[in-house]
Amino acid sequence: MSVGLVTAAALLGALAGVLSDRAIPVLARRFPGSGPPITPGLLAAGSGDSPGCADRPPPSAAAGLMAGRAGRSTGRIRAGAVLGAVGAVVFGGLAAVRGPEPALPGYLLVAGGGLVLARADLACLRLPDPLVAATALAGGAGLVAAAVATGTPVRLWAALAGAVLSFTGYALLALLPGSRLGYGDVKLAAVLGLPLGWLGWRALGLGLLLPHLLNGVVVLGLLAARRVRRDTALPFGPALLAGAWLAVLLT
């Protein structure tokens, strides 16, 4: 493990995390959400001050307006710091475990897109198609470059197989009665299937299983803390991304 590589990746991840939070106000205007922002846990900036899709100024009184702006500004700084720390851990972890292998840039590109998608899903309950597509193109390009560099183009077929299997599995789950999976989740699962398929069947299996385990733990914790109700809509994208990241680290 190269300390310099891990440090550089962590710093890059911190920057990506901060930028992902800065992108949310723009995304909120371009991709309206399906409901009020859902930001439980660390990313919650406080009651009413999340920079999500339903972000609106308080009543028009001057004092209230200034207080609302100050609250939202503080919330954004707080959320940006959390996203920066998350990005540093995600990027640094990938660099520490995978090392200077040719596919590392591809993993980092997917992770960078994932940070934006996770924040957007938490804030807007949306995984916008253009962002999912951009993440797929960036990750795919990184894997193609790795295949050329290592002279192993056959691994691209494994990556495509992982994407197809992930898409098929999650599409079937989304069609089940009572399923809360959205088609944005299905598309994101296909994107994450690319790097997981590249790594092999074990990584792909873990990447398909871990998101459900992680999401179950989070939902049970929120229910126990009475932060949500049984019918509360919660984002699944962050669990998908966290599960894929853990699968890469454990493979």
Which pLDDT value is given to residue 125? 87
Residue type (1 letter), 150: T
pLDDT band (50, 70, 90) for residue 180: confident
Q: What average pLDDT score do residues 65-94 get?
A: 72
pLDDT at 28: 61
Mean pLDDT of 139-150: 95
Burial-class residue 119 by CB neighbours within 10 Å (0-12, 13-18, 19+).
buried
Count up the domains in the chain and report the number.
Answer: 1
C-alpha distances (whole Å) from 110 to each of 52, 83, 131, 243, 247 are 23, 16, 11, 13, 14
Residue-level pLDDT at 29: 64
Residue 201 above 60 pLDDT?
A: yes
CA angle 226, 179, 251 (to 5 degrees): 85
**Rounded average pLDDT over 100-107:** 94
Q: Does residue 75 have a pLDDT over 90? A: no
Q: Decide which of 86 and 40 is more confident.
A: 86
Stated pTM of the model: 0.82
Return all residues near 197 (Cβ < 8 A) that are at least 6 apart.
Answer: 158, 159, 160, 161, 162, 163, 165, 166, 203, 204
| pLDDT tens column, 23-39 | 766 666 666 544 444 34
Residue 55 belongs to what domain range?
Answer: 3-250
What are the tokens at 91? 């990027």
Whether residue 41 has pLDDT greater than 70: no
Beta carbons within 10 angstroms of residue 151's beta carbon: 7
Here the tokens at position 95 are: 């660099």
Using alpha carbons, select from 131, 138, 148 the residue that is nearest to residue 195. 138
- 91 versus 45: the higher-pLDDT residue is 91
Higher pLDDT, 2 or 141: 141
pLDDT at 54: 44
CA distances from 116 to 23, 109, 225, 247 (A): 8, 11, 27, 20
Q: What is the mean pLDDT of residues 52-77?
A: 45
H or E element, residue 106: helix 104-124
Q: Residue 212: pLDDT above 50?
A: yes
Q: How far apart are CA 248 and CA 242, in angstroms?
A: 10
Answer yes or no: are the C-beta atoms of 6 and 100 closer than 8 Å.
no
What is the pLDDT confidence band of residue 13, given thresholds at 50, 70 and 90?
very high
